[in-house]
């Protein structure tokens, strides 16, 4: 029996020698698949335990690039990560990119290491109170940015990232942290030193910030998301202006009082104003809205916030914005049903051809089929070459297609500004055009005035 056991042991030992393996090489559970990009141009894919620290990372990758761990520094989001930092504290997602840089001799002014707990993790704000609140260690919570992700097609939490504005590499260390949204969104605000070999070593470079979605695996350094800076964590427990509920995520208007609505009420507010065509075409900010409380200087300055609408609603927003821009610049919209093509024309041109749309030829003044003479003459009966005599009035009333046109002319009046047919179903004589928001008088068919209000407001 002893000889048999010795035989089995010898066979197992020989198998181990032929097929060596280490239990340490077995796949880890709950691993992060991370790309290590070296400044020499090589990229390594490694699986890291979230519990390991940066020193362990250096020990893993140093032999693969022919360097010692002491020669390496790891850069992520504009910071050199210290050896004691744990991977799970670095806000890394699956397939995130770390930059490994082999140390080189450098001027004394750049030999100092900036001490950071981790990557940029403070809310960007112009408020002076909030950073002090967040810097309180007892109350400190992880800050979040919000973005619109084109991959997820929805509002998501975001991650702030940085790269060299010259070579677009993420291997850049910042000279200072951004303190406000202006530092992040405007170019040439924060400087740094790029460690990429393609950039001259030690030369002053500008940092370029961008955002990524935090809720799906990274698609590389070109995976960008649009920041929604007016959507924030409700760290001050402010109730919604509309529903009075206290929600975790809120929209903060840029008015002096910084009114707050929850995201759901913001969507409802935008949809209602959109359907009523109550948006404003601002010269600098585009087709936008102001605070629902009517505060001055409170326009939404980033149109990507309207991506929170559904796909159909956002397409309506884009269409209305285009139409308003055409009308503002002296153009017209093709009146044919189902067309609505925007046409920019000369100020003295009355005959309009919808060349890029349906091909309809119409009159600029009355928006009906093009005709010679005054627009009023269009309603006069046109002589015919037929030999029998008919009553012109009855003939016009007997036309199947013309019946609806007569009803429109009788029950509606055109807006004096944009000529949109408007129906009055009751109430006062003060009309507000749903297309161009022009205030006009139903009786005078001119701009609404105090005289109209005093003489025939109610008829």
- DSSP H or E run through 403: helix 400-411
Cβ(40)–Cβ(61) under 8 Å? no
What are the Cα distances from residue 102, in Å, to 69, 75, 85?
9, 11, 19
Long-range contacts of 112-117 (CB under 8 A, 24+ apart): 113/80, 113/82, 114/79, 114/80, 114/173, 114/174, 115/82, 116/79, 116/80, 116/82, 117/85, 117/89
Which pLDDT belongs to residue 444?
A: 78
Which pLDDT belongs to residue 9?
A: 57
Cβ(212)–Cβ(224) under 8 Å? yes
pLDDT tens digits for 341-381?
Answer: 888 888 778 888 888 888 888 888 888 777 777 776 444 44
pLDDT tens digits for 270-315?
Answer: 999 999 888 999 999 999 999 988 898 899 999 999 999 999 999 9
Which pLDDT belongs to residue 1?
A: 53
pLDDT tops 70 at residue 16: no
Q: Which of 415, 428, 441, 444 is catalytic?
A: 428
Share of the chain above pLDDT 90, in %: 17
Which pLDDT belongs to residue 110?
A: 35
Which pLDDT belongs to residue 321?
A: 92
The β-bridge relationship of strands 97-102 and 32-38 is parallel
Degrees (nearest 5) of the Cα angle 159, 165, 167?
Answer: 110
- DSSP H or E run through 100: strand 97-102
Lowest mean pLDDT among 43-57, 109-123, 137-151: 109-123
Which pLDDT belongs to residue 379?
A: 44
Phi, psi (deg, nearest 5) at residue 4: -65, -40
What are the Cα distances from residue 284, in Å, to 292, 299, 315?
20, 10, 21
The secondary structure of 307-318 as a DSSP string is: GGS-HHHHHHHH
Q: Residue 211 has which token pair?
A: 């955002």
What are the Cα distances from residue 240, in Å, to 45, 156, 262, 302?
46, 20, 5, 21
Q: Average per-residue pLDDT in the chain?
A: 76
Judged by DSSP in three states, 381 sits in coil
Integer Cα distance of 333 and 436 in angstroms: 12
Mean pLDDT score, 259-263: 93
pTM of the model: 0.59
Integer Cα distance of 270 and 253 in angstroms: 13
Q: DSSP code of 447?
A: B
Cβ(421)–Cβ(437) under 8 Å? no
pLDDT tens digits for 197-230?
Answer: 777 655 678 889 999 898 887 777 678 899 999 9
Task: Report which of residues 453 and 398 the model is more confident about.
Answer: 453
3-state secondary structure string across 238-255: CCCCCCCCCCCEEEECCC
- Whether 428 is catalytic: yes
Mean pLDDT score, 4-17: 58
Phi, psi (deg, nearest 5) at residue 11: -60, -45
Spatial neighbors of 228 by CB under 8 A, at least 6 apart, are 146, 147, 148, 155, 302, 304, 305, 308
Spatial neighbors of 48 by CB under 8 A, at least 6 apart, are 31, 32, 34, 56, 57, 60, 87
The β-bridge relationship of strands 351-353 and 342-343 is unpaired
Integer Cα distance of 98 and 81 in angstroms: 10
Integer Cα distance of 248 and 236 in angstroms: 10
Which pLDDT belongs to residue 134?
A: 37
pLDDT tops 60 at residue 409: no
Nearest to 176 by CA among 185, 186, 184, 165: 184
């Amino acid at each position: 029996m002893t000889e048999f056991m010795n035989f089995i042991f010898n066979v197992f030992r020989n198998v181990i020698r032929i097929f060596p393996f280490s239990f340490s090489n077995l796949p880890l559970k709950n691993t992060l698949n991370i790309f290590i990009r070296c400044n020499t141009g090589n990229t390594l894919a490694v699986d890291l335990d979230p519990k390991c620290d940066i020193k362990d990372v250096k020990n893993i990758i140093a032999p693969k690039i022919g360097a010692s761990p002491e020669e390496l520094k790891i850069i992520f989001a504009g910071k050199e990560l210290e050896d004691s930092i744990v991977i799970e504290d670095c806000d890394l997602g699956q397939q995130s990119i770390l930059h490994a840089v082999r140390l080189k001799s450098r001027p004394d002014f750049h030999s100092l290491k900036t001490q950071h707990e981790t990557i940029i993790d403070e809310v960007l704000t112009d408020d002076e109170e909030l950073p002090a609140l967040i810097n309180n260690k007892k109350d400190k919570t992880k800050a979040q940015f919000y973005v619109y992700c084109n991959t997820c097609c929805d509002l998501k939490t975001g991650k702030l990232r940085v790269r060299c504005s010259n070579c677009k590499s993420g291997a850049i260390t910042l000279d200072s942290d951004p303190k406000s949204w202006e530092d992040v969104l405007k170019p040439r605000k924060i400087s740094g030193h790029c460690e990429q070999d393609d950039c001259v070593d030690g030369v002053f470079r500008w940092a370029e910030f961008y955002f990524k979605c935090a809720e799906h695996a990274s698609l590389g350094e070109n995976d960008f998301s649009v920041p929604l800076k007016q959507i924030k964590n409700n760290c001050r427990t402010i109730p919604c202006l509309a529903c009075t509920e206290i929600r975790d995520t809120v929209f903060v208007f840029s008015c002096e009082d910084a009114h707050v609505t929850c995201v759901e009420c913001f969507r409802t507010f935008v949809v209602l104003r959109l359907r009523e065509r109550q948006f404003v075409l601002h010269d600098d900010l585009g087709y936008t809205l102001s605070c629902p409380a009517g505060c001055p200087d409170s326009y939404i300055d980033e149109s990507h916030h309207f991506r929170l609408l559904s796909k159909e609603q956002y397409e309506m927003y884009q269409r209305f914005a285009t139409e308003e821009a055409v009308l503002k610049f002296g153009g017209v919209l093709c009146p044919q049903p189902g067309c609505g093509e925007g046409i920019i024309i000369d100020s003295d041109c009355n005959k309009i051809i919808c060349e890029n749309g349906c091909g309809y030829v119409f009159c600029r003044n009355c928006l009906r089929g093009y005709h010679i003479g005054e627009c009023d003459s269009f309603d006069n009966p046109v002589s015919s070459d037929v030999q029998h005599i008919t009553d012109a009035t009855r003939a016009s009333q007997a036309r199947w297609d013309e019946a609806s046109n007569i009803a429109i002319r009788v029950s509606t009046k055109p807006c004096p500004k944009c000529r949109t047919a408007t129906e009055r179903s009751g109430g006062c004589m003060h009309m507000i055009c749903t297309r161009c928001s022009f205030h006009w008088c139903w009786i005078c068919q001119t701009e609404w005035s105090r005289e109209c209000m005093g003489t025939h407001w109610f008829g």
